[in-house]
């Protein structure tokens, strides 16, 4: 096999893996209405050094909290969260509470397998994280 053949096979493999990564994604969702100001909830979410104090599955987090930046986190389910994206949306309700949507999206060719093997743990984890956020934000 020549170098050009190997390169072509590698490029085809990479294109296939990229296509699989784009088409295969699994989303886990939790939500809560929190009786705390949105600014306080936001501060908890962007205080990466403080995550381990309230978040039940993040033991360390670091990075840049600007949109599109990368945050690295050490979590209890390390292998599962490679290729994961987190999306949190805060919406102020008419009564002054804040509705939090908390999503974990695992993408890539192995996302369905990860969901099958770890799905229950991930669902429980995202729910526990959302409840812990509410508890921490509402604490006196």
pLDDT in tens, 1-51: 433 334 444 555 555 555 555 567 788 899 999 999 999 998 998 899 998
- Of the candidates 90, 86, 91, 71, the one whose C-alpha atom is nearest the C-alpha of residue 122 is 86
Mean pLDDT of 54-67: 83
Q: Enter the pTM of the model.
A: 0.68
> By CB neighbour count within 10 A (0-12 exposed, 13-18 middle, 19+ buried), where does 37 fall?
middle
Residue for token pair 């699989």: 20
Residue 60 in this model has a pLDDT that exceeds 70: yes
Q: Is the model more confident about 70 or about 135?
A: 135
Q: Per the CATH hierarchy, to which homologous superfamily does domain 25-138 belong?
A: START domain (3.30.530.20)
Helices (H), 1-140: 3-23, 38-46, 51-54, 111-138
Q: CA torsion sign, 30 to 36 to 41 to 42?
A: positive
């Amino acid at each position: 096999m020549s170098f050009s053949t190997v390169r072509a096979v590698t490029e085809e493999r990479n294109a296939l893996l990229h296509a699989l990564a784009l088409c295969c994604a699994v989303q886990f969702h939790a939500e809560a209405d929190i009786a705390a100001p949105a600014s306080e909830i936001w501060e908890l979410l962007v205080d990466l050094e403080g995550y381990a104090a309230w978040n039940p599955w993040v033991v360390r987090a670091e990075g840049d909290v600007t949109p599109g930046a990368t945050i690295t986190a050490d979590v209890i389910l390390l292998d599962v969260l490679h290729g994961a994206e987190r999306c949190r949306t805060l919406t102020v309700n008419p009564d002054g509470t804040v509705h939090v949507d908390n999503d974990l999206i695992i993408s890539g060719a192995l996302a369905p397998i990860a969901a099958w093997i770890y799905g229950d743990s991930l669902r429980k984890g995202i729910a526990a994280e959302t409840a812990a956020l509410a508890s921490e934000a509402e604490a006196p």
